[in-house]
Amino acid sequence: MRALWIVVLIAAGCGASDAGIGPNDAGNNCTVFISFDPPAPTLGMSVRAIANVANVNGLPAFEWTVKRHDTNADVSFTPGAANDSAVIFDPPVAGAYDVAVNLTMSSNACPFAQAQVNVLNDNTPGTKYRLRVLASGAPPQEKTIQIPKGLTSYAFGGDALAAGTPITAMVTHGAARMPAYVRITPMPAPDESIEAYSDGMGVFHATVTSDLQTVLVIPASTTLAPRTFTTDFSTSQAFDVDAGAAISGIVKAPGGTGLAGAHVQLTVGGVPSTLAQTAADGTFTVQAVTPTPSASDIAIDVTPPSASGLPRLSASGTFDATKSFSIAYASLTLRDLAGAQVMRGAAAVPNATVTLVGTVSGAGQINVNGTMASATGAIHVTAMTNASGILPSLKAPALGVSAVIQVAAGDLAVASVDLSTAPPATIQALANVMARPEVDDFNNQPLAGVTVDAVPVGDLALAGAQPIRATSDVNGAVAFALAAGGKYDFRLHDPQTRVAPSVVANVASASVPASLAMLAATIVSGDVEINGSGPAANAVVQLLCFSCGGVERTRPIVEVTTDASGHYHYPAVKLP
């Protein structure tokens, strides 16, 4: 991304920079903008707002208003210049202030000018966030912002988005045109990938920034290797893929025999290979981008057949891609839960889906021409009980694992299962834990109408459990039927924006606090425009975690839509 983001004061006119009253220059347009002294005030300082006027005819009169941005309440001020071209005010609280000035009595019309100034508690650096904008006609873009702590409101100013360039490009294989998945990632903004799919004619469309882009192409054909390209789309409009290099190897089950039916995928220098399935003798061949040099950072992922009971293997290292890969499982003892009965109390649980999850360290070994790497193992196997609650064959390593049991839709339980010595005869799916916490505001007062999502984490998430949503009642209470033994993140959002979105993380279902407290909010506001097109109306503006990884990095803390003038207004943002 180029220098797409600029911070500007909201100003009228064309931004003359000379202070004071300009020359009586009839025929030129009068311009006005407001500046502040000091430009970055802290609480306790008097703030002087100065009208910088140029090309005004006559002696204008200045009509000022100063308001708190959070409450829109008037703030008193005193004259700051003999001709009232400046005013001085003492901010009562830290936060954003809206200052406006209207010039009258001039013989040529001067525009109304307004600006915002943030008054901070102190100069401590604020919390970093990513501000992301999805606007029609522009590719997604983001920037890092810092919001000072302890403010009731914060004016971010204006942001200018690159308009983006619509491109039409093609995926080919020689003379043939290929359907493919395409991911275009601006080099300066790795979070802002654009995804596209070339059709049967190999053609895809996208709108991109003018930055240098990394283009990942994954052909639909399993015989062609995914590969990446670097381009700014100024010339390259066709991306030619080929079979790449064949990388072969073998997956060996515990005991050394070849493991049939395992899925193998390599990632060579960040570029995925084709997905291969091992033959009856455990051998496989994937097609991958030809590494240069041949010794490259390569990640290996092996997913064994579910019936094998073996864990999934993941390993990485610097390997010679021209050599054969030997992937060997460690000597793992497997237990089979076949015949075990799933119970709830004294009753059998029919047709329950049981997913075993867990991790195995040192689950396997990678050997590529003598270069070794240890592989970690992830257990994820699933089976369904019969009408009597009896499990069919369900194998897993002889370790302590977790069983996530779905008794019915939305009715889950997590049970610890010790397979180290022998499979248990029964697995207890405990009844749901009824949790009824109260949602409170920062003054410990109950809040009605707050949306609370209980988002499964840990074992529940690994088993694919989905969030449960509830809304607080008039007493602030929310009711959940939670999985016994499970853990949740409670994500709270107030549609009425009285308080900031909050997260109470990693809460065991048996230990849900009586009160889910929500924090005071900071109002964050700003404006977005697209270069050359004016205000970005109806754009989606998201505020995202700065330092998070994984899927958390993609979860908006808040998201709003800009109005017709490109203005956005986060009514409530939590500031840690």
* From 35, 467, 519, 546, residue interacting with another protein (rule: CB under 8 A): 467
Name residues contacting another protein, limited to 285-324 (CB under 8 A): 301, 303, 306, 312
Structure tokens at 498: 């009285």
- Tell whether residue 27 is a contact of another protein (CB under 8 A): no
Beta-bridge mates of residue 488: 456, 507
- Tell whether residue 199 is a contact of another protein (CB under 8 A): yes
Structure tokens at 364: 């396997």
> Going by C-beta distance under 8 Å and a sequence separation of 6 or more, which residues neighbour residue 27?
none
* From 95, 164, 219, 254, residue interacting with another protein (rule: CB under 8 A): 219
Name residues contacting another protein, limited to 155-184 (CB under 8 A): 179-181
- Tell whether residue 561 is a contact of another protein (CB under 8 A): yes
* From 106, 114, 185, 198, residue interacting with another protein (rule: CB under 8 A): 198
CB nearer another protein, residue 89 or residue 490: 490
Structure tokens at 80: 């700051």
* From 99, 251, 482, 560, residue interacting with another protein (rule: CB under 8 A): 560
Name residues contacting another protein, limited to 399-438 (CB under 8 A): 409-410
CB nearer another protein, residue 217 or residue 343: 217
Contacts with another protein, 126-145, as mask; x by CB under 8 A? --------x-----------
CB of 256 to another protein, least distance (A): 23
- Tell whether residue 457 is a contact of another protein (CB under 8 A): no
* From 104, 369, 420, 466, residue interacting with another protein (rule: CB under 8 A): 466
What is the C-alpha to C-alpha distance for residues 50 and 53, in angstroms, rounded to an integer? 9
Stretch that binds another protein, among 65-73, 88-96, 423-431, 559-567 (CB under 8 A): 559-567
What is the C-alpha to C-alpha distance for residues 319 and 299, in angstroms, rounded to an integer? 9
* Whether 34 contacts 86, CB under 8 Å: no
CB of 347 to another protein, least distance (A): 24
CB nearer another protein, residue 445 or residue 561: 561
CA distances, 532 to each of 2, 164, 411, 510 (Å):
15, 11, 54, 56
H/E stretch holding 461 reads: helix 459-462
What is the C-alpha to C-alpha distance for residues 476 and 413, in angstroms, rounded to an integer? 27
Stretch that binds another protein, among 234-242, 248-256, 320-328, 456-464 (CB under 8 A): 456-464
What is the C-alpha to C-alpha distance for residues 288 and 322, in angstroms, rounded to an integer? 11
- Tell whether residue 71 is a contact of another protein (CB under 8 A): no
CB nearer another protein, residue 294 or residue 466: 466
Name residues contacting another protein, limited to 256-275 (CB under 8 A): 263, 265, 272, 275
* From 195, 281, 297, 418, residue interacting with another protein (rule: CB under 8 A): 195
CB of 417 to another protein, least distance (A): 18
Per DSSP, the residues of 30-85 read PEEEEEEESSS-BTTS-EEEEEEEES--S--EEEEEEEETTT--B--EEE-STTSS
What is the C-alpha to C-alpha distance for residues 305 and 411, in angstroms, rounded to an integer? 28
What is the C-alpha to C-alpha distance for residues 59 and 94, in angstroms, rounded to an integer? 35
3-state SS class at 204: strand
3-state SS class at 307: helix
Considering only CA atoms, which of 393, 361, 395 is closest in space to residue 378? 361
Phi, psi of 460 (to 5 degrees): -60, -45
Name residues contacting another protein, limited to 489-548 (CB under 8 A): 495-497, 538, 540, 542
CB nearer another protein, residue 277 or residue 420: 277
* Whether 360 contacts 397, CB under 8 Å: yes
CB nearer another protein, residue 88 or residue 279: 279
The Cα angle at residue 99 between residues 94 and 105, in degrees rounded to 5:
160
- Tell whether residue 571 is a contact of another protein (CB under 8 A): yes
Residues found near another protein in the complex (CB under 8 A) = 134, 179-181, 194-200, 218-220, 263, 265, 272, 275, 277, 301, 303, 306, 312, 355, 378, 380, 409-410, 453, 461-464, 466-469, 495-497, 538, 540, 542, 550-551, 554-555, 559-561, 571
